[in-house]
Amino acid sequence: MTERRNEERHVVSEMYRKYFTFKARAGSKEFVPMKLLDFSGHGIRMKSQQGVSVNSSIECLIAAPKSFSKEILFVGRVKYCIQDEAEGDYLIGAEVVETDDPTGFELFSKVHHFIKERIGEIF
């Protein structure tokens, strides 16, 4: 697969995923916890136990409760949803199309970077 992104993707590895909360919902369903794999200002990749339709909207809430407790709401347009045959989960990629707080979303990126750099020193 050819990389088409022109901005940095912030990887959220298993080691520090516990410092973030990430929930999403498609349609009118409740927000459910999902695994946040990586994100940028314009895209996000996540893992879910349920699949979603390509081109559908997905609402997401993201926070870093130990350092930045405000939840940032944003909406993504699903670009792909692929079932992981080994685990049975779905790998979902979405384009970020709207956020209720662009400044907060950018600040979350900076908090993520700080946690990644200081993981062993403060947590």
Residue 123's pLDDT is 39
Any domain includes 1? no
Token reading at 68? 């930045």
Whole-angstrom Cα distance, residue 92 to residue 81? 4
Whole-angstrom Cα distance, residue 43 to residue 50? 19
78-119 pLDDT tens trace: 999 999 878 789 999 999 898 877 777 676 666 556 555 654
Q: How far apart are the first and last CA of the chain?
A: 36
What CATH number does residue 99 fall under?
2.40.10.220
Residue 84's pLDDT is 83
Whole-angstrom Cα distance, residue 120 to residue 25? 33
List the domain range (segments joined by +) for residue 95: 10-117
Any domain includes 123? no
Nearest Cα to Cα of residue 63 among 103, 91, 23: 23
Residue 102: what residue type? Answer: P
